[in-house]
Amino acid sequence: MAATRLSAGVVMTAAAASMSTLSYHTYADYPFRFYPFSSSSSNPPYEENQNADTKPESHVAQEPRKSDFDPEALERAAKALREINSSTYTKQVFDLMKRQEQTRLNELDAEKAYYELFQSRTDIERQQRLAEEQRNLIQEQAQREAQALRFKDELARKRLQEDHETQRRHNVELVKMQEESSVRKEQARWATEEQIQTQHRQTEREKAEIERETIRVKAMAEAEARAHEVKLTEDHKRRMLIERMHGEKEKWLAAINTTFSHIEGGLRVLLTDRDKLLTTVGGATALAAGVYTTREGAKVTWGYINRILGQPSLIRESSIAKFPGSSIISQSKNIAAKYSTVARAQKPVQSKNGLENVILHPSLQRRIEHLARATSNTKAHQAPFRNMLFYGPPGTGKTMVAREIARKSGLDYAMMTGGDVAPLGPQAVTKIHEIFDWAKKSRKGLLLFIDEADAFLCERNGVHMSEAQRSALNALLFRTGDQSRDIVLVLATNRPGDLDSAVTDRVDEVIEFPLPGEEERLKLLNLYLGKYLSDEDSNLSKRSFLYSKQPQKVTIRDLSQDVLREAARKTEGFSGREIAKLMTGIQAAVYGRPDCVLDAQLFKDIVDYKVTEHHQRIKLAAEGGLADIM
């Protein structure tokens, strides 16, 4: 039985194989490949479809060629059919074959549906590709149009720019031509004016020469006559004086003789009478003790009063009386005395604008006057004062201007130096507070001038700053934190960059004092020439009290404004102080001459000498600076 069943299975397989070989021909016309019911049919259909284009060839390749037809297969099939027909499993075999066929048909339907789906997807993709291409085309077109527009716009702009450039060049040329023409005109005008001036000066010089010569001749005649007269008068006076002195001498000798005879009598009585001698010695001792006690007591009391009412020790100069009610003249360096000295000295140069004896650039002078007026009005309206910072090279008039502002605005003035604070050590804080407390006593309001401010108001983070200095700076910051109605703080420094930012924050007006220009130097030379050399009469009368010998008068000869202007030109880079010193140098040279004459040659020699000295000093300073750096 088992053997029969096995042979039936073999027959069925053979029949199926024959049928499947035949089925190729049945489905060969179908557009897609036919998958026989075999193990290869289990492959996923989409994998096959991916190579759909190559399939027809492979299909052709797999198709059995007609020449290779094997009739034995048919025979085997017929034999198998016969075997099947004779087998007891015929029905099952046919059923199986029918089901196989049905399965194959279903597979074909599925494949067909799949390929239809594939076709429609391909269509959609093609449509999408077309739409994408269309879109790209439109975009490209739009870009091309925009580019064309941009290019056109660029061209138009370039053309406009070129037009503008041409126009500008044209205008520049026009302006240049106009300027050249006006410069030419100006030069011609200058040349004419210069010529006129030269002629005018020449005439003036000649006129002055003639006048001087006339005056000199006249003066010589007058001087000779006066000298003769003076000689006669002096002889007479000397005789009278000698006679008077003889009389006086005799009178004094008689008085001295009488006094000594009285003293001699008194001493004789005292030495002979013991009681009187004791009384006298006791009285003298008591008197000496009384004088000593009174003097020491007065010293202690004075020190106490000084501490309570006196001027703080940090103040070097002030217009406030040292003690309430005491005389201003009693101060050693009193500013009021300075004002009066200045008033005397400034007689020859009376400034119309009010800033007497200070020569500044006109714009700076206007600013200072404005500040002085503003300070004065601030005081009148009881408004808070504005603090100031003066900076610039040494000797450019910062201190002088501070004094002038105080004087013009009717404030009291006090000056201290930053360098005095450091040596005080821990006492500095107390002294700073003392100054501000003392300043409150001024009824007018006080201008507190701190010279060399950078010495103690420098940056707090600085490594060289001691703790005491830092505390002093903090004390000052504390006292100036609010706007004050009592004190105007004026700081002066040559190094404004070194100041602490909190200090500069308290400053309302910052003013630079530059080195004087040529015009200012000329004015300074004139000022100090008048002060030190022309104002001889008053100086002579003053000195005649001090020296028994009558000093010789200074004579200025041939010192024209041209010579002074040339000196002003040469002294480029000089500060006000240096010019003042130059003039004292000239004064000394004049006093060194036997005839005390200042002429143009001596003046020029000393100016040249001082200019060389100035340049040498600058050179040395620069070398020193370089050496420091290296």
Chain residues binding ligand ATP by CB under 6 A are 358-360, 394-400, 451, 492, 494, 513, 524, 576-577, 580
Inter-residue contact 93 to 8 (CB < 8 Å): yes
Nearest partner of 522 among 349, 367, 391, judged by Cα: 349
**328-356 burial code (b ≥16 CB/10 A, e <16):** beebeebbbebbeebeebbeebeeeeebb
DSSP characters for 357-408? T----HHHHHHHHHHHHHHHHHHHTTPPP--EEEE-STTSSHHHHHHHHHHH
For ligand ATP, give the closer residue by CB, 97 or 515.
515
Question: What tokens does 584 get?
Answer: 């004292």
Q: What's the min distance (Å) between Cβ of 393 and ligand ATP?
A: 7
Nearer to ligand ATP, 34 or 513 (CB): 513
Residue (18 or 571) nearer to ligand ATP, CB: 571
Q: Residue 95 — φ and ψ, nearest 5°? A: -60, -45
- Give 93 or 586: the residue with its C-beta nearer to ligand ATP: 586
Task: Give me the least distance between CB of 474 and ligand ATP, in Å please.
Answer: 25
Q: Give 12 or 358: the residue with its C-beta nearer to ligand ATP.
A: 358
The span from the CA of 179 to the CA of 190, in Å, is 16
Please name the residue ranges forming H helices in 409-535: 428-439, 467-479, 501-505, 518-529
CB-based contact 556:534 (threshold 8 Å): yes
Query: Whole-number minimum distance, CB 492 to ligand ATP, in Å?
Result: 6
Which residues are CB-contacts of 14 (< 8 A; sequence separation ≥ 6)? 76, 77, 80
447, 411 Cβ separation under 8 angstroms: yes
What tokens appear for 46 in the block? 């989409």
Q: 555-557 and 388-391: which strand pairing?
A: unpaired
CA 518 to chain CA centroid, Å, is 27
| Shortest CB 344 distance to ligand ATP, Å | 15
**Which lies closer to ligand ATP via its Cβ, residue 63 or residue 518?**
518
Beta pairing partners, 492: 390
Closer to ligand ATP by Cβ: residue 339 or 513: 513
Query: Residue 197 to residues 205, 268, 515, 523: CA-CA distances in angstroms?
Result: 12, 92, 30, 21
User: 84 or 359, CB closer to ligand ATP?
Assistant: 359
Q: How far is the CB of 546 from ligand ATP (least distance, A)?
A: 24
Instruction: Give the shortest CB-395-to-ligand ATP separation in angstroms.
Output: 5
Residue closer to ligand ATP by CB (options 351, 552) is: 351
CA-CA distances (angstroms) from residue 614 to 351, 495, 570, 575, 609? 29, 21, 11, 10, 9
Count the neighbouring beta carbons within 10 Å of the beta carbon of residue 420. Answer: 19
Q: Which residue is nearest to ligand ATP (CB)?
A: 576
Q: How far is the CB of 176 from ligand ATP (least distance, A)?
A: 41
Nearer to ligand ATP, 159 or 347 (CB): 347
CB of 453 to ligand ATP, least distance (A): 10
Q: Token digits for 384?
A: 């808070």
The nearest distance, CB 444 to ligand ATP, in angstroms, is 22
Residue 179 beta carbon to ligand ATP: minimum distance, rounded to whole angstroms: 37
Nearest to 318 by CA among 448, 452, 480, 491: 448
- Residues 507 and 480 sit within 8 Å (Cβ to Cβ): no
What is the pairing mode between strands 388-391 and 509-512?
Answer: parallel
Q: Which of 290, 362 has the CB closer to ligand ATP?
A: 362
Residue nearer to ligand ATP on the CB measure, 59 or 338? 338
For the bound state, the minimum distance from the C-beta of residue 340 to ligand ATP, rounded and expressed in Å, comes to 16
Neighbours of 216 (CB within 10 A): 12
**DSSP H or E segment with residue 91:** helix 90-272
**Of 387 and 396, CB closest to ligand ATP:** 396
- Provide the b/e sequence for 272-288 (b: ≥16 CB within 10 Å): eeeeeeeeeeeeeeeee
Indicate the SS3 state at residue 449: strand
Nearest-5° Cα angle at 377, 374 to 380:
155
CB of 541 to ligand ATP, least distance (A): 23
Min. distance of Cβ 597 from ligand ATP in angstroms? 25
DSSP string covering 462-494: -TT--HHHHHHHHHHHHHTSSPPSSEEEEEEES
376 vs 399, which CB is nearer to ligand ATP? 399
Query: Shortest gap between Cβ of 301 and ligand ATP (angstroms)?
Result: 37
